[in-house]
Structure 1
Amino acid sequence: MDMAYFATGYSVNLPDWIGEELHGVPDIIPDRAERMALVHRLADRNWREGNGGPFAALVAESDTGRIVSVGVNVVLGSGISSAHAEVTALGTAQARVGSWDLGAEGLSPHELVVNWRPCVQCYGATMWSGVRTLIVAGSGPELEEISTFDEGPMVADWAEQFEARGIEVVQDVLRDEALAVFRAYRAAVDSGRVVVYNARSGDDAAE
C-alpha cells in the first residue's frame, strides 16, 4: 500500500479575525451573561466571514470567569465536517491546559458556553471533555426552524443525561440574542449570500 496516497493528519485552526475580536477583551469575565454576549458576537461575525455556520463557544473557569479558549464553527473554512464551535473551543482549551480532561485533578472546574444546545456530535464531545457545566442560550426547535441546519436525532432527556454525569446545565442565557443571530443568518441564506452545509436526507443532497 502506497502511503503517499493517504493523508496522515489534518489540522483545524481558528480564523485570523478571532484575534481582532478578542483585542481588549479582559482575561476574566465574571458574569455568565457577559461571557454569552461574547459568544454571540463571535457567532455573528463567523458566518459573515464565511468560515461556517452562526455558532461560537468558549471555555471558562467557572470559579473565576477566566476565559481559557474560544471556538467558532470552521467547517467551510477548514473543509472538516467535525470542526464545530464546541469542538474547536474544547480542543483549544485542552491544548492550553495540557490535558484531554478539563475536569482533571488540580484543574479549576471548567464550563462550556455555547449559543445553542449542542448538536448530536457536540453532545458527545461536551460530555467526554471533562467540563463541569454547560451553559446554552437555548435548546428548542427554533435553531433548526430558522437556520435550516439538521442538528441530528437528539434524545429528549439530553439535559438530564448531562446532569446524571455531574455536568450542570444552565439554559436560556441571552436566548433572544441568539435567535437574532440565527435570523440574520437566515436572511443571508434566503438571499443566496451564504452556503448551508447539512447532512443528507435520504437520497437528497444537502443544500
Structure 2
Amino acid sequence: MNQLPFFITIPLPDWLTERLAVPMHLHDDEARMRFVIELSRENIVCGTGGPFAAAVFRAADGMLVAAGVNSVLRLENAVLHAEVMALMFAQARLGSHTLRTGGGIHELVTSCEPCAMCLGATLWSGVARLVCGATREDAERAGFDEGPVFAASYAYLEQRSIAVVRGVLRAEAAAVLDHYRESGGVAYNG
C-alpha cells in the first residue's frame, strides 16, 4: 500500500477544458440541457467517463460558471460524479463555499436526476434551482444504483428554496444512458 496522500488533484478531461475555453451564455433550460447532454455524450465518445454531465449557470444571464462530467473511473474516485464536479469547479471559480454568493443566483443543470450523494451536494451547494434531464429510472435501466432518493427528497429541496425542474429533454438524455449500456459501459456503483 502506498503512503497516505496529502492532496488530491481533480483535472477535467482535456477535451472539456478546450470546450470551456470560450465564454458561453445559454438563456433557457433546453439550451442548457442540450449543452450538458452533449458533454455526457462526448465523455463516452472520448472514453473519459460515464454517461453523465452537469453545469452551473448564473441565472440572470445564463453565463456558464462551470461544468463537470462523470470522472469516477478516470480518476478512480467514487465521489466524482458530474454534479459534484460542476459544483466544486463553480465554487472554486467564485471563491466561495456557497453558490448563493459570488455574483448572483446559480442553477445546476444535470443530464440525469441526481443520485442520493449528488442530491445532498446540491442541497449544500447553494444553488437556487436544479434542472434535470433523464430520470432515476433511466439511469437504473442503464445499470446504475441511484441510492435512497425519494419524492420527499425533492420536496425537501423545494422547502429549502431550491426550485426543481425535471424531465427537460428527457428522451435525448436517456438515449445517452441507453447508448452507454448498449456499448458495454461499466456501471461502477459500489
Whether these two folds match at TM > 0.5 is: yes
* Aligned residues of 2:56 and 2:65 also touching (Cα < 8 A): yes
8 A contact 1:135–1:173 mirrored in 2: yes
1:7-46 alignment to 2 at 5 Å? 7-22=5-20, 27-46=24-43
Could you say which residue in structure 1 is the equivalent of 2:155? 160
Aligned-partner residue type, residue 10 of structure 1: I
Count of residue pairs the alignment pairs up: 189
Percent of residue pairs bearing the same amino acid type: 43
Match of 1:205 in 2: none
CA offset at residue 138 of structure 1?
3.5
Q: Distance in 1 between matches of 2:70 and 2:138?
A: 19
Larger radius of gyration: 1
Following superposition, the deviation at residue 172 of structure 1 comes to 1.3
Name the CA distance, whole Å, in 1 between partners of 2:76 and 2:94.
27
- Residue 23 of structure 1 and its aligned partner are, at CA, apart by 6.0
Q: Distance in 2 between matches of 1:172 and 1:155?
A: 16
Q: Within 1, Cα distance between the matches of 2:84 and 2:38?
A: 18
Cα distance per residue 1:101-153 (max 9 Å; x no partner) = 1002x6310000001111011010010000000000133412211x1011112
Is the CA contact 2:91–2:99 (under 8 Å) kept in the aligned structure 1?
yes
Match of 1:108, as an amino acid?
A: G
Q: Which residue of 2 aligns with 1:196?
A: 187
Q: 1:9 Cα deviation (Å)?
A: 1.6
**Do 1:119 and 1:151's aligned partners in 2 also have CA atoms closer than 8 Å?**
yes
Matches within 5 A, 1:1-207: 5-22=3-20, 27-104=24-101, 107-145=103-141, 147-189=142-184, 194-199=185-190
List alignment gaps of at least 5 residues for structure 2: none
Cα RMSD after superposing both structures: 1.6
Q: Distance in 1 between matches of 2:75 and 2:111?
A: 21
1:73–1:84 Cα contact (<8 Å) kept: yes
